[in-house]
Structure 1
C-alpha cells in the first residue's frame, strides 16, 4: 500500500470525550472512530494491528493442538434457557425477536454453542478436543467508557476443551496458560496471572491475566514477597489473631442511640470496629439472606455469590 493511498485520518487535538490515554492516541492516530457509545469502527491501521495480534494468537493455539471454529453471533434463546443462563446474564445480554416472534440473543460468550457442537462427540476415543474461535461479542454495558477497554461490541478469542477426566482438563488448562504467557511475551505486553472468580461462567478454577493500567477498573491484590496474586473478587488474606480480654460475666444491654453505622459506633462509643459484627440483608436467588461480617470488613458481592453457589 502506498502512503499516498493509505487512509489515516489523524487529528491535531484530543477528542473531547476521550479520557484514557489509549483512547486519545487511537483516535488522534487515525486507528478508530466511534460510531456510538461502545461501538467503534476499526480503520485500516487498526485492522493491520488486529490481524497481527490474531496471527500470533492463532499460531500459539495451533502449536498446542487447538482447532479453529467460527460460530454464529446470533443465538436462539432456547439453548441459553437450557443452560439456565438466559436469566443469569441479566441486562448485559442483548435480546431480540425475529419476524416470527422467536427469542434470540447476541452472543456474550459461546459456551452454550460449543457445547451443542460437542454433543456429536460420541465416544471417549474422540477426546480430548480443544476448540477456539475469533468472534464478535456483544454486551449491553450500562456505562461504556475508556475507549476500547469497556465496549458493547468487540472481538474475543475464546477457547474450550473437552476431556475424559479431571486430569485431562488440568492438562488442557495448563497448555492454555503457558500459551497465553507466550502470547503476551511476543506482544511485549506485561501481564500478571491472578486468581479470579469464575462468575456466571462457572467452574472450579479461574486465572486472569491482568495488565497494569491507570485506565483499568479491576483491583488486584499482589504479594511482593511471594507469587500470590488475585483479583479483589477472589483474594483472601491472613488475619492477625484477636486476643480477647476477660470480658463480661454476662451479656449486658448497650444502647446506641442515633448510631447507624459501624464507623459511628467506633467514633461515638469507642468500640473498635474489628470487635463488632455487622448484619447485611440480601436477596440471594429469591431468598432473604442475612450476611454476618466482622465490623471492619466490607462485603464483596461476588464472594457471597461464589460461597453460596448462587446465580445472582
Structure 2
C-alpha cells in the first residue's frame, strides 16, 4: 500500500514540473511578442512624425550646408547665351529678302531670386556683366548677360566675329569674361557661330592662316579672325557653324549641299592643326548645319539651350 501511494506522488510531482516548464515558455513568447509590438509602434510613430515635418517643409533649413548648396546647384538649367558685343540688330535687307535677327535672351538662374544663401552660391558659378561697361557698342544700355560656362552653350554672330573692325573689341570682351567667370573660358563645351556663308577662296585663307585680299575683304571680313577667337575656348568639345540661307550669291539648297562639306573639312583641319591649344590635346568636333526651309523665321539659337547638333539638318 505504501508503495502505491509513493508511486502516485511521484507521478503527481512529474506532472507539476511539465506544467511549470510550459508556463515559462509561454511567458518568454509573450514577452517577445510584446517587444515586437512596441518596436513596431515606435517605428510607426517615428514615421508619422517625419511625414508631418515633411508636410510642413521645415526640414530644408536643417539640412547640412553642403547638401543645401548642392541642391541650389542642381537648379541651374542649361541656356544658349549670346556673347556678341551687339545684342539687337535692325531689320536687314538682302536683295528681295527681308528678315530680322531674333536673339532670345536666356533667363537668369532661379536661384538668384530665392534667398541670400542661394544667391551667394549662384554667383560662385555665374558671371553677370555687360558690354556697356567696356563701351564696346554704341548702345549705352546693352542688357547684361548671365553665363555659366560649365553649364551653358554660347554663340557668336559670323558678321561680327569676322569683321576686322571689331577684332580688338572682341579680344577685350573675352578677356573681361575670362577674368570674371569661375575657371575662365575653359569650362565651355559647346559653341555656335551663327549665320555663316562660304566661298571657295576661304579655304586657301584658312589653310595658310592669313587674311587675304580677296573679294570679301572689301567688307573687312576674314574667316581666320573667327577661328582665332574660337581658340581662346580651350575646353571646347563641339563647334556648330549655322549656315545663312540668305547669302546673296546663291541661296539655293544645292549650293549649300555642295559647299558645306568643304567648309566643315577645312575648319576641322584648322582645329586639328591647333589641337595642342585644347585641353587634352583633342580638337573639338566641327559640325555645319543649315536651314532647310526658305520661309522659316531666322532664329539660329535656341532659348532652352538644347544640343545644337541635334537641331535642323547637318552635314
- Between Structure 1 and Structure 2, the one with more helix by share is 2
What TM-score comes out, normalization by structure 1 length?
A: 0.27
Higher relative contact order (CA 8 A, sep 6+): 2
- Between Structure 1 and Structure 2, the one with more strand by share is 1
What TM-score comes out, normalization by structure 2 length?
A: 0.27
